Each structure stands twice: as C-alpha cells, then as structure tokens.
Structure 1
Amino acid sequence: MKKWFIAITGTFTHLLLGTVYAWSFFQTPITEFTGWNNTQTAWAFSLSIFMLGITAAWAGNKMSVYGPRKLAMIGGALYALGYLISGFALANQSLFLLYLGFGIIGGMGLGLAYVTPVATVSAWFTQKQGLATGMVVMGFGFGALVMSKFLAPVFLKISGGNLSTTFYYVGAVMVVLIPVLASFLQLPKVKKQQETKQEKISIAKYIKTKPFITVWLIFMINIVAGMIFISFQSPLLQDLLKRQMPVDTNFSDANVVASLAMAGATLIAISSIFNGLGRFAWGTVSDKIGQMQTFRILLALQALIFVLLIFVGNPIVFSIFVCIVLLCYGGGFGVLPSLTKDMYGDKLMSSLYGALLTAWGVGGIIGPQIVAFMKDNYADKAGLYAFVVSGGLLVVGFILSFITKIVSYE
C-alpha cells in the first residue's frame, strides 16, 4: 500500500507542476497587455521547458545524494517563486524579469521536482513499470486542465482580470501545496541501502552511444510536435474561429474577445486530458508490445495528423487533431521511464532518465519558437508552415527508430 500512496502523491505533485502546460492560455493576453510580440513572449515558456530539461538531468544524477524529498520540495518552492516574480514582471512590463522568473527560476524548479517522483515510483515498482510511471506523469499532463479551467479563471475573476495578481495567487498556491505533497516522497529501504553503497559511476560513456543518441532524438522530435500546440493551441484555434466570423466583426469587442478566449481555454482543458491519458495508456501499451515499437506508432500517427492538418480549416476537426497529437505527446513521457530502466537498469535509471530529459528542454525551445516565428512573420500561413516543419521532423524520427538497435546495458 505504501508504494501506491507514494505513486498518488507523486501524481498530484506532477498535477500542480503540469500547470506550466497552460501557457497558451496566457500567450495572447500577455502580448496584448504588454505589446510584446509572439516570439518575445513565447521565450518565457521556451526557457522554462529548457531549464526543466537541463535541471532534471542534474537532479536525476544527484537524487542518490540529496534524496527525492529534498529535491522535490526545493523544486516546488522555486516553481512558485517563478510565478511570484512573473507577477511582478507583468506589473512592471519587464520582459527580462518574466524570463528570469517564469523561464529560468520556475523552469529550474520544474526540473528538480519533475524527475524525482518518476524515479522514486520507478524504484518502488519492480513490475508494471509503464503503468506506474505512466500514472505519475499522467498528472503532469492534466495540469493544463487545472490551470485553464480552475486556477486561472478563478483568480482572474477575483483580481478583476489583472494578470499580475493572478500570477501572484498561483504562486501562493504552489508554494504551499507542492512542498507538502513532495514531503511524502521517499525511496524504498533496499534502494536506499544500495544508493549509499553505490560507487560514483560516470554516465558519459553511455550518453555517447548510438542507442542513447537515437532515443534522445526520437524523444526530442516527439516533444517538438506536442509543443507546437501546448504553446499555441489557443491562438491557433482562435485564428480559425476568426476566419469563420463575419468580415465586419469587431475583434476588439470585449464579448468577442471573451468568447474566443473561452474556446481556447476549453481546447486547452480537453487536450490536457488526452495529454494525461496518453501518458498512462501508452505506458501500459508499451509493457505489452515494447517501448520502441510504441514510439514508432506515436511518431507515425502524428506524422499523418500533421499532413492532414495542412488541409484543415474547420475548428472542430482541428481540435480533434490537437487532442490526438497531445495523446501521442503524452505517450512519449509514459514510455520513456520504462525504456530507460530496461536499457540501463535500476542503478543508472535516474541519472540517464534525467539526461534524456534534456531533449525535452531542447524541444521546448524549438516547438514554441517555430510557431512564434511563423505567427510574427507569416500570420496567415503560420499554422500551415509549422505543420509542414513538424511533420517532416516526425518522419525523420520514425526512420531513426529503425536505424539503431536499442540494446540493454544492464
């Protein structure tokens, strides 16, 4: 029972951390309030995901030194601090402080607190790895739902639509809840004894191998595809909805703005459910058919969807395709922990899992910046060009999955 309690607290920890995935809810309001363009604003989110990946690599390698509880509690506090600094940045329209708060400090907090629940639960569950770790990372996927339909709307209403105050409120919630939940994380006793006796092992020789590089590239490409929508699904949907409205529509009218924002928030919420379920469902599937075979299905399905998106102008069809892409995006996170453990064993799992998460950081820059650049320079064709680029990358990832044989180093 104890291992399931730890899995549940890890899931709720990820649920709060996953609120970062609701960034597209804030993307348009921030650009309109501050006058910053899409590229400038999206860099806050890109930096956050980049720092998440880099810090997770460090945290995964240091979990045996500091323990999961301490790392996750500090991470939660830093993530909350990031929101508080971001609130001050918005109040003073300081792009630098937004990058520092939400991007760097908040991203570091995410990295510290993300990897530890996954590695901890993996240590408790010797069987059904995909099921257990998939459940934990499922919480992260559901985080956008919590933010877009609960936290953000409630705090915006309380603050009278004030973005800065809303960020303060979110930070206050995070600084209380995440450290409390993280305080329950602990490794099993046998694992603790092994960790204390473990010699320091260099992971450099594993990182330089073709299997590691292949998995890193495949995971990164899967991230890029999902990040295109996580960062901009609301603005892209609103663009499609505007095209279906009468030509004399006043898009600055408060009611029109509110209805478009509500549609975007609804898509964020629904797609986050698919993101979360994908982590759990595909992780379970990988237990049956194998992790790399599962990745091939994810990449091929998304490549097909991006080709179809080139020809889609209907908002409902677009929304359905977004949900399918995020189902596959989440699946990558559900499959990666068990794949890492199968390849490298218990002893190296947390270190090399953290190293693989640097692909998340890189993909977190590439994906949002592709769409931001397209929207700033080719507004009418932004979605089309972004879909072509991402579809091409997914085809490359699918081919890579057949080139290098994945071997076990355990």
Structure 2
Amino acid sequence: MGFLDRIHSVAPPGWNRWLVPPAALAVHLSIGQIYGYSVFNKPLTRQISGDLDAAQGAAGDWSLLQVGLIFSVALFFLGASSALFGKWVEREGPRKTMFASALLFCTGFVVAAIGVRMHSLPLIILGNGVLGGIGLGLGYISPVSTLMKWFPDRPGLATGMAIMGFGGGALLGSPLGTALMNRFAGDGTLGVSSAFLWMAGIYFLMMMFGAFLVRVPREDWKPAGWAPTENAANAMISRHHVLVDEAMKTPQFWLLFAVLFLNVTAGIGVLGQASVMIQEMFSDSVLGDGRGVTAAAAAGFVGLLSIFNMAGRFIWSSTSDRIGRKPTYMIFFALGTLLYFLVPQFGQMGSLVLFILAMCVIMSMYGGGFATIPAYLRDMFGTRNVGAIHGRLLLAWSAAAIAGPTLLNGFRDRQIAAGVAPADAYSTVMYIMAGLLVLGFIANWLVRPVAERHWVPAEEPVTAELGKP
C-alpha cells in the first residue's frame, strides 16, 4: 500500500504532464455517472410489480420521491466529504485519494445491488448515496487540484478538461446502465442489481487506470520556459499561498462561496425541470394544435442542454485563461441576467428557437461556473491548499442543489394554484433567477486580492502546512 503514498507518486524529471488529463478524465467520467442515475429510477419503482409499462407500481413498491432521495443524498455527501477530507486529500496526494474514491464509489454499487435484491431502500441509499457520495467528493477534488499544479500556465484549461468529464459522465453512464439492465432483465430485479455489479467492476478498472497513471510535480517544478507575466488576464493571480483554515477567514472565500452558490442555484433548478418547462411553455394550447413540444422532443432538449453544460465547462474555463476569472464571471452574471429576463418574453412570443438558444447559453455558463471556480480559487489562494479550499467551497453546491429546485418548483406550484396558466407560471421564477444573478454580479465585483496578512510565510515548510485531518 506504500505505493499509494504521495512520495511515491512524485513525477521523475522529464515526465509528460499531458498524461495527467487522461488520468483525471478516467476518474471524472466514472463518478459523473451520478448525473445519469435517473435511468434506474423507474425500474427501482417497479421492483415488486416487475412491469415497467404499468402506470404505477404495485403495493409495496417505492415511489419516485423515495427513489429520488438516492441522488439527493449522494450530492449532499459529495459536498460534505469534499469539505471534510480536503486537508487529507492535499496531504496524501491524488493516487491514494483516487484509490479511496474508487473503493468507496464502487463498493457503493455492490451494497446497492444487495439492497435491490433485499428490496431495502435504506441499503441502496447507504450504498449509492452515502458511500458513493463520499467517493464522489474525494474523486471530484483530487484530480482538479493536481491538474492546477501541473498547469500553472493554463489552469482554466486544465480544470475544464477534468470537470468536463464529470459533466459528461451521464453520456457514458446512462447508455451503459440501460444496456446492462436490458441484458440482465431476467435477474428478478429488472436487471438493476446485475447492472450495479457490472458497473462497480467497470468503473473500478477505469478509476484504477487514473490512480496508477497520475503523478504530482516536484515542489520546485514549473513548465519549461514559463514565467508569470503581468497582463489583464492574470492581474488578480497571487504569487503567494494561503492555507485552507486561513482562507476561510478571508472575505474572498465567502464572496466566491456566494458566487458559486448563486450561479448554481440559478442553473440547477432550470436543468432539473427543463423537460417539463419546455412542454408547458410551448404546449399545443400555446403554439396551436399539433405544434406543441412532445415528451420525446423535450427529452432531446434535455440532451442538448447536457451537451452545452459539458462543452461550457471546457470552453468558458479555457476562455478564463485569456481574459481572467473575474471578467469571465462578470459575463456569466450579466449575460445570464439578461437571458433570464428574456426567457418569459420568448415564451409569450411563442419563439421556441430563441427559447432553446437562450437556455443553451445559460446551461453553458452553468457548467462553465463549475470549471472556472477551481482556477479562481487558485488565483486567490495559491496552489498549496487549493484542493482543500475547493472542497470547502463545494458546500455551496450542496446548498444550491437544494435551493434551486425548491425555489423553482415552489413558485411554479404556487402560481398554478393561484390560477396562472402553466405556460405563464415560470415568468416569476425567471425574474427571481435574474435577481440572484444580479447579487452574484455584485459579489464577484467585490472580489479583491487577498491581504498579505493571510499569506503563508515564504520560509514555512510545506510538510507542516496541513496538520491533522
């Protein structure tokens, strides 16, 4: 097991840093499966009836609301474990962290498979929700931190490559899960239990590839011929380091916490209800008989949003290397505010094309926010503890995952209960989302370089910086 120690993963001279992105992608594509978990929802609600075509399950079958807890618990533990184990991740290094992530994430599938066989929802939640969620948190932050150390010249590009993989995890996980369930449909669980076991094995091999390939740079390493230069894009980049506990004492940390929370809250609620929203805003009664958006077309719209979500993670984070992190977020919030104000107008105009274009741009900035924030943290606090700081900041994601859907669904339901037509029920929500982005613009505008009193003294040894877990 000593092979997993950080000291044994330090790269030798001349090692190619471009081997790190494939290692990060292998892990993020695996844990990104959580975005495709919904393919198991309906089969899990039909375990007793065994009939996927039935309008509802048999007595004793779980409801969709109950099964939805698995996803919510997983995201909660993603944020919580990232915050709790961030110091340990930085101290022990990416190889041991990726190994622990693979062990927890894939063991979670095995435990969940047993839970399906026993028809025990708590056991499934323990597996895919708790164990899998902790594995998600460890696997999410470790590759990002490592990539930023390898690519000080292009940190946005580096983090975008990895986090794009997480956003695209559903593109692999959804068809894989569906194919495995179809293959083992006769196992007495509609193929769910067998699919979980196979996915445990497949993802463990992928994540082990990443764990054994990854390396960390030497403490004094930097790209050949590279030296920091002063320009508009890096005027906010610090040459100093701030430790994680000290970072939480700075206004910059809490401003960036607000930036991430507001950006994600505005996007995640819409993403979760995109299918229902487009069908209600552009129904037959709005566009005319036979012209409304069908369920199949709405599913295609959700897939399109997922592609823009994934592409935005790479494109926007790469752009931030050129124009700077703060200006990039200024674009997110300013353009996002405008588009959220316009979305209800597009609905009233019956302009489906403009609505789709606006939502695709919004989703690209939602994904771009995830990929740009690690580099923003690196700019503010240096690279020594950036993984631990990123882990603490991901609590904003956990909070937004609750606030966004609750806000959108709550206002929609109240509007409909008050007699507002479903097509018009989203207008108030869109204006509220625009208001949240205005607050995000202000928070981002207030970000300034970290004060010198928070810096790590230049002579302080690196080995002493993280203390105990």
| TM exceeding 0.5 | yes
Shift of 1:168: 4.2
Instruction: Tell me how far 1:163 sits from its aligned partner.
Output: 6.5
Give SS of 2:213's match: coil
Distance 1:117 1:405, change over 3 A: same
SS in 1 for 2:380: helix
Q: Are 2:333 and 1:299 aligned?
A: yes
Q: Deviations over 1:260-312 (max 9, x none)?
A: 3x545533433222222212111122122211111111122222332333342
Instruction: Point out where structure 2 has 5 or more consecutive residues left out of the alignment.
Output: 1-14, 46-55, 222-241, 417-421, 456-469
Quick check: 1:21 aligned with 2:64?
Answer: no
Superposition map of 1:6-155 within 5 A:
6-23=20-37, 34=61, 36=63, 38=65, 40-89=66-115, 94-148=120-174, 150-155=175-180
Deviations 1:210-237 (A, max 9, x none): 1110011111111222322443434545
Larger RCO, structures 1/2 (Cα 8 Å, 6+ apart): 1
Contact conserved, 1:296 with 1:401, CA < 8 A, in 2?
A: yes
TM-superposed deviation, 1:127: 0.8
* Residue type of the alignment partner of 2:368: G
**Pairing 1:338-377 to 2, within 5 Å after superposition:** 338-371=375-408, 373=410
Find the partner of 1:164 among 186, 192, 195. Answer: 192
Aligned residue identity for 1:124: W
Rounded to whole Å, the distance in 2 between the matches of 1:373 and 1:172 is 40
Partner secondary structure for residue 9 of structure 1: helix
The one of 208, 212, 218 equivalent to 1:189 is 218
Give 2:363's match in structure 1, choosing from 318, 326, 346: 326
Shift of 1:373: 4.8
Larger displacement relative to structure 2 (317-326 or 294-303): 317-326
Q: Structure 1 residues 338-347 or 158-167, which shifts more? A: 158-167
8 Å contact from structure 1 (residues 25, 265) kept in 2:
no
The structure where helix makes up a greater share of residues is 1
Q: Separation in 2 of the partners of 1:241 and 1:30?
A: 31
Q: Is the 8 A contact 2:183 2:191 kept in 1?
A: no
Assess if the C-alpha contact under 8 Å between 1:16 and 1:178 holds in 2. yes
The separation in 1 between residues aligned to 2:435 and 2:343, in whole angstroms, is 13
Match of 2:442 among 395, 399, 402: 399
Alpha-carbon distance in 2 for matches of 1:25, 1:389 = 31
Q: How big is the alpha-carbon RMSD for the aligned residues of Structure 1 and Structure 2? A: 3.5
Number of residue pairs matched by the alignment:
391
1:279 match? 313
1: distance between equivalents of 2:112 and 2:425?
28
Amino acid at match of 2:176: L
What secondary structure sits across from 2:402 in the alignment?
Answer: helix
- With the length of structure 2 as denominator, give the TM-score of the two structures: 0.72
| Alpha-carbon contact 1:28-1:235 (below 8 Å) kept | no
AA paired with 1:395? V
**Residue of structure 1 aligned with 2:209, choices 180, 184, 203:** 180
**Where does residue 224 of structure 1 map in the other structure?**
265
Q: Which runs of 5+ in 1 are unaligned?
A: 193-200, 250-258
Residue of structure 2 equivalent to 1:197: none
- Paired amino acid for 1:76: A
Identity of aligned residues (%): 30
Query: 239-248 or 225-234: which moved more?
Result: 239-248
- How far off its partner does 1:240 sit? 5.7
* Structure 1 residue 392 displacement after superposition: 2.6
Cα distance in structure 2, aligned partners of 1:278 and 1:68 = 25
**Larger Cα-atom Rg:** 2
Distance in 2 (alpha carbons) for counterparts of 1:375 and 1:158: 39
Deviation at residue 28 of structure 1 after TM alignment? 6.5
What residue number does 2:323 align with? 289
